[in-house]
């Protein structure tokens, strides 16, 4: 019921059906009739569990930030909130008929580069205003003026997830300590030396083949299932498999 109430005024529900598969959620397609008689479809994601509300807020906020920056790069996000009849939270956005064939690499690269050029951090810093989630994993993305500092905290947060999932491993801990205290400052530090700066760019955060699709109707490329934040434009984040 909460999902239906979140739809634009005048939308009349016509049909709903399960759609796709997700390791972290249940997904569906709902079709409505607009006031002018047109049919329109929405994508719905339902997430359950202890962190459902913050995960949904994170995905909605990330997708909204991408859509506000460059509307033709993600399906339009519509709403998010708590379900009424079950302990779960929902995300609603426009539904697109997506083909997951290999995307045109040049077109994808040009579109991502345009996103990076157009984006502007609201604080002038690296990070995000809510916690972004990669699947069920929260990322450390507090605002930070330094890319070196921000990246170190992001990586340390990922490592702490690994410890929680797989237990402590001294050799890995020793290696991580060297990376955080020696490698990152040595490799990234020069980017901020002698008055140099790095522009915080809005990135998708988990850009891999399953999160990229081509709309069948227009041939337009879209990215989705985002855990966006402002980072170095060449930054990426590989999901931690637990």
Domains with residue ranges and CATH for the chain = 2-95 (3.30.200.20), 99-231 (3.90.1200.10)
Span 44-51, mean pLDDT?
Answer: 91
What pTM was computed for the model?
Answer: 0.92
Query: 241: pLDDT confidence band, cut at 50, 70 and 90?
Result: very low
pLDDT of residue 34: 94
pLDDT of residue 102: 85
Tokens of 216: 């069948």
Taking the C-alpha atoms of residue 57 and residue 122, their distance in angstroms, rounded to an integer, is: 18
Is the predicted pLDDT of residue 136 greater than 70, yes or no? yes
Q: What is the pLDDT of residues 77-111, one digit of tens each?
A: 999 999 988 899 999 999 999 888 888 889 999 99
């Amino acid at each position: 019921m909460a999902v239906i109430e979140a739809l634009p005024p005048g939308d009349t529900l016509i049909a709903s059906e399960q759609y796709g598969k997700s390791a972290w959620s249940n997904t569906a397609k709902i079709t409505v009739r607009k006031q002018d008689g047109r049919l329109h479809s929405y994508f719905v994601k339902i997430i359950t569990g202890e962190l459902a509300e913050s995960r949904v807020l994170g995905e909605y906020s990330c997708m909204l930030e991408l859509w506000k920056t460059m509307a033709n790069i993600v399906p339009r996000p519509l709403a998010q909130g708590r379900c009424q009849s079950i302990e779960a939270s929902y995300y609603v956005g426009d539904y697109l008929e997506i083909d997951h064939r290999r995307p045109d690499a040049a077109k994808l690269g040009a579109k991502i580069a345009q996103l990076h050029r157009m984006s502007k951090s609201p604080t002038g810093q690296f990070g995000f205003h809510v916690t972004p989630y990669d699947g069920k994993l929260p990322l450390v993305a507090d605002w930070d003026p330094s890319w070196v500092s921000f990246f170190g905290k992001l990586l340390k947060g990922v490592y702490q997830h690994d410890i929680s999932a797989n237990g402590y491993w001294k050799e890995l801990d020793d290696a991580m300590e060297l990376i955080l205290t020696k490698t990152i400052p040595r490799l990234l530090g020069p980017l901020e030396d002698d008055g140099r700066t790095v522009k915080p760019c809005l990135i998708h955060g988990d850009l891999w083949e399953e999160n990229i699709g081509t709309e069948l109707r227009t041939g337009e490329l879209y990215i989705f299932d985002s855990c966006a934040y402002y980072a170095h434009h060449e930054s990426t984040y590989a999901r931690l498999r637990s």
